[in-house]
Amino acid sequence: MERRELVTLLVGTLAGLIGSPSLLAQTARAQSAGSIPSPTPVNVLEFEPLARQRLSRMAYDYLSQGAADEITLRRNREAFDAIRLKPRVLVDVSRVDTRLDLLGQKLDFPILLAPTGGQRLMHPGAEPETARGAHAAGVTMVVSTGSTTRIEDIARAAPARLWFQLYVNRDRAVTRDLVQRSEAAGSRVLCITVDTPVIPIRDREKRWGMQSLYAGQPTDPANRQSPIYTHALDPTVTWETIAWIRSFAKTPIVLKGILAPEDARRAADEGLAGVIVSNHGARNLDTTPATIEALPSVVAAVAGRITILLDGGVRRGTDVLKAIALGARAVLIGRPYLWGLAVEGAAGVQRVVEILRGELEAAMALSGVPRLEQINRQALWPDR
């Protein structure tokens, strides 16, 4: 059956069901004119090939790459797909409520934009364009230290909810300045990335010669330039460094890049506000667990003492539901909104978020859990 015939048949059937002859008439007119509207993305994954068409090969590889053999990159998705949901019926789902309180903020739904650097590679409007899309979608944007735009300019671009992600600088005065500037710009939470003390092994970057842009740092008496060190990253960061930042930071602090339950327990012991269970989008150490696999042990380790978020592999609203069922308070997305940014700028960012939000609401209703606080492991099909 030709695509045009199939569309006419489906829309005609729908029109008959809901009593909408005008809908059928519109389709008939489109067919007679020989112009069925071109397809637009109906899910987040459909933005990726469109983004690939618009980006340079280098920019696309930079966005898409994982570490080394990219085993963890694939695993982030495979692990989500392996989890099954349990549909429940005869539950009043006439209202689905996704609102939550998160680290002192009231959010309409449990999705945030993860910090991503170099957004000018994706769109000439860069981070301010993302901020405009975030504001339109009502979502919190986590601004990266690696942004191509100053945080003050991002904050001015749109009154979006902002958090700030910090890479600790070797120059502690620079680190203090970054934190204080982010607070002055309106950042509500400080996310300190703790999983990147050295340059990761990323084969795609090597092929493009991108890793040669990082300045090596001598590491032995022979003055050997090790390829894993850079002035931009501080390999001496410890728990004592985090305590120092806590001494002057005025916002809650969340550690990003936690997989090991021991590290999550230490974060709770130290009195931090939360952790983000993350493998850096599978861009750092290959062959680690998927974030959704690491989540349950982290949840058990902190025993409810701190807030847990999850980052990595989220592509569907069902993924959001699964993460919350396993103990995350909310999730962050990275590559998906960058695909949207590359395709349509702020409107693309907004559309990606709205798609995920709608899918989450549908998944909650069909699982019989219309309120966010009702979601727990009972929403998952039990493993045998």
Residue 78, both tokens: 């495979």
151-163 per-position pLDDT tens digit: 999 999 877 689 9
Per the CB < 8 A criterion, the answer to whether 88 and 303 are in contact is no
Which domain, by its residues, includes 132?
A: 44-197+233-379
Give CA–CA dist 234/229, Å, rounded: 8
Please give the pLDDT value at position 214: 61
**87 in a domain, yes or no?**
yes
Q: Which of 248, 275, 244, 252 is nearest to 262 (CA)?
A: 275
Sequence-separated (6 or more) residues with CB below 8 Å from residue 37 = 30
> Do 26 and 50 sit in the same domain of this protein?
no
> Do 149 and 254 sit in the same domain of this protein?
yes
Residue 192 pairs in a beta bridge with 166, 255
pTM for the structure as a whole: 0.90
**54 in a domain, yes or no?**
yes
> Do 28 and 126 sit in the same domain of this protein?
no
Residues in the chain, pLDDT under 70: 1-38, 160, 211-224, 384
**94 in a domain, yes or no?**
yes
> Do 268 and 337 sit in the same domain of this protein?
yes
> Do 190 and 83 sit in the same domain of this protein?
yes
Please give the pLDDT value at position 75: 98
**15 in a domain, yes or no?**
yes
**227 in a domain, yes or no?**
no
> Do 14 and 113 sit in the same domain of this protein?
no
Please give the pLDDT value at position 181: 97
> Do 11 and 101 sit in the same domain of this protein?
no
**210 in a domain, yes or no?**
no
Please give the pLDDT value at position 183: 97
Please give the pLDDT value at position 16: 38
Give CA–CA dist 255/88, Å, rounded: 36
Please give the pLDDT value at position 23: 39
Please give the pLDDT value at position 382: 92
**Residue tagged active-site, from 123, 135, 231, 280:** 280
Please give the pLDDT value at position 209: 84
> Do 165 and 293 sit in the same domain of this protein?
yes
280 as an active site residue: the answer is yes
87-117 per-position pLDDT tens digit: 999 999 999 999 999 999 999 999 999 999 9
Ramachandran quadrant class, 23 (left: phi over 0; alpha: psi -120 to 50; beta: rest): alpha
> Do 8 and 147 sit in the same domain of this protein?
no
> Do 13 and 126 sit in the same domain of this protein?
no
**202 in a domain, yes or no?**
no
**139 in a domain, yes or no?**
yes
Report the domain count for the chain.
Answer: 2
